[in-house]
Amino acid sequence: MLVSADVYRPAAIKQLEQVAGKVNAKFVNSSTDENPIDIAKRAIEEAKIQYQDILIIDTAGRLHIDDTMMDEIKALTAAVNPSETLFVVDAMTGQDAANTAKAFNDALPLTGVILTKTDGDARGGAALSVRAITGKPIKFLGRGEKLGELELFHPERIAQRILGMGDVLSLVEEVEQKIDRDKAEKMAKKMQKGGDFDLEDLLTQFQQMKSMGGMAGFLDKMPGMSGSDMQKAVEDAKPEEKVREMEALINSMTPFERKNPDKINPSRKRRIAAGSGREIQDVNRLLKQHKQMAKMMKMISKPEGISKMMKSMQGLMGGGSAGGGGPLFGGGQQGTKNVNPEQMAKQMGLDPNNMPSTEEMQKQMQEMQNQAPKKFKTRF
């Protein structure tokens, strides 16, 4: 069950109601005319009546320097005596997150932290600061605004991101959760039988990549890719915009055209371009990219195809050895991500002149791992 005690923003109440609807959770109505404490008490009684053993009370955002708002949250906490008091902190604020966390920890009996906006430039260094200052475990990470982008905190994985080692385990979990297994198996069987990779298949690939945060989000979890020149180049190229354009082109095609791209003649190209608001050159570019993808899919469908593709990729990536000098990344895995201590400090929101050693960082991460529960459930 959810309830909003944010009486300062009418939109906050409406937004939480929409979230409750999306996750099929009970919602207790509130209004800006009510007192936050009265709202919380009424919600608790409503939860008991409806036999809801979990109640989340969403409070208004506030600055620790606002004495009036801090007094309000203290009074609310004392009135409802929650089993969990979670501090939500913005990872992008860097060292400021640690200062704010200290002020809230001194004022409230915090039981944990939720770190948001970890999909931005910050690699999670705020996690170290907040954990060290509050002594409270980080329980969740927010990687975006969608409901599926709130994940359990895994200390060893955030350490790998900070050090530029990627987060393959989270990537695997995300694939398992978000990729349509039936569609994937159907396409795999189709390729194994020598079937053609058509534009319908390409559209499915686009949709699956988008569900995983796009190409930039994918690279962020790959070892050596987080913060690399390649990831920056991908972000600068704005692939999501290009994918949307190509989706519009494919959606403007008839089922016959999607299944038979080689039958798309100049007349059809003009109609597709007009229907999607694009140019004929865009249609030609899409067909060319599809042709390249189709060749790759045919290659990997053969028994020796994977090894051939990996060898060609290894050549592009610098031969797989440190400093290999490949044309794409200018070196192997180490060359892809040269760790700059000063840059790492800035990403982590720490003082470049007072960076913890690798041993200290690992020790802090181990402490975080020991503190973080395997499962988390809020009760009152």
Is residue 16 within 8 A of residue 58, CB to CB? The reply is yes
Alpha helices in 108-154 (DSSP H): 125-134
Write the DSSP symbol of residue 144. S
Overall number of domains in the chain: 2
State the average pLDDT for the chain: 73
pLDDT higher than threshold 80 for residue 313: no
Residue 129 CA to residue 41 CA, distance in Å, equals 34
Last residue of a domain, one of 284, 301, 318: 301
Quick one: 179 and 162 in the same domain? no
Q: Give the 3-state secondary structure of residue 53.
A: coil
Domain that holds residue 81: 2-166+364-371
Residue 313 CA to residue 343 CA, distance in Å, equals 28
Q: Which of 170, 151, 138 is nearest to 364 (CA)?
A: 138
What are the pLDDT digits (tens) for 183-234? Answer: 666 666 766 666 678 888 888 878 777 766 666 665 565 554 455 555 565 5
Name the range with the highest mean pLDDT among 35-39, 304-308, 367-371: 35-39
378 in a domain, yes or no? no
Quick one: 159 and 193 in the same domain? no
The one-letter amino acid at 378: T
- pLDDT given for residue 298 in this prediction: 72
Q: Sorting pLDDT into bands at 50, 70 and 90, what band is 85?
A: very high
Last residue of a domain, one of 261, 277, 301: 301
Alpha helices in 136-227 (DSSP H): 155-162, 168-178, 181-192, 199-211, 214-220
Residue 308 CA to residue 1 CA, distance in Å, equals 53
Quick one: 191 and 245 in the same domain? yes
Identify any residues that bridge with 138 across adjacent strands, giving them in sequence order.
113
Is residue 138 within 8 A of residue 375, CB to CB? The reply is no
Quick one: 148 and 39 in the same domain? yes
Quick one: 162 and 177 in the same domain? no
pLDDT higher than threshold 50 for residue 295: yes
Beta-carbon count within 10 A of 358 CB:
10
Last residue of a domain, one of 301, 317, 335: 301
Handedness of CA 160, 164, 167, 168 (dihedral sign): negative
Is residue 94 within 8 A of residue 125, CB to CB? The reply is yes
- Please state whether beta strands 138-142 and 150-152 pair in parallel, antiparallel, or not at all (unpaired): antiparallel
Of 76-85, 152-161, 195-204, 338-347, give the lowest mean pLDDT range.
338-347
Residue 185 CA to residue 170 CA, distance in Å, equals 21
- CATH code for the domain of 278: 1.10.260.30
Q: Could you tell me the end-to-end alpha-carbon distance of the chain, in angstroms, rounded to an integer?
A: 11
